[in-house]
């Protein structure tokens, strides 16, 4: 489970919850919370976390994919590198780097690209 640290249009943060290979993203609309399901992973989602001060959601799965979701809605980039799958992820406190651990002990770090071209290996 992960809360965004910034508010959405409704004034409330966004909440994301992973379950098996899907992610449910909850966003407050007026008086109710609406959910949408993000599905791209082909195996268990092990970790989810919002980039600090944004609504960019990262999800790491045992399928070896690390997915970046803009505003918890649209898939914007898929990062890979852990052939045996990912077990965890964490954003740098300033949000310019993302680190993920693989099931075989790998540590992979990506840095935010220049000119809005996503994240690349550091």
Where residue 21 sits, what CATH number does that domain have? 2.130.10.10
Statement: the pTM of the whole predicted model exceeds 0.85:
yes
Secondary structure element (H or E) that encloses residue 57, with its range: strand 57-61
Residue 11 lies in domain: 2-121
The alpha carbon dihedral of 113, 7, 34, 42 has a sign of positive
Dump pLDDT digits (tens) for 34-80.
999 999 999 999 999 999 999 999 999 999 999 999 988 999 999 98
Phi-psi region of 24 (alpha: psi -120 to 50; beta: other; left: phi over 0): beta
Q: How many domains does the chain have?
A: 1
Q: Looking at residue 24, what is its pLDDT?
A: 96
């Amino acid at each position: 489970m992960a809360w965004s640290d910034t508010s959405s249009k409704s004034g409330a943060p966004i909440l994301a919850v992973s379950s098996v290979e899907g992610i449910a993203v909850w966003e407050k609309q007026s008086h109710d919370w609406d959910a949408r399901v993000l599905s791209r992973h082909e195996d268990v989602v092990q970790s989810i976390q919002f980039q600090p001060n944004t609504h960019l959601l990262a999800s790491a799965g045992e399928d070896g994919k690390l997915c970046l979701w803009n505003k918890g809605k649209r898939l914007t980039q898929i990062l890979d590198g852990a052939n045996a799958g990912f077990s965890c992820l964490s954003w740098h406190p300033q949000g310019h780097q993302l680190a993920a651990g693989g099931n075989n002990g790998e540590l992979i770090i990506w840095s935010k690209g220049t000119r809005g071209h996503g994240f690349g290996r550091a």
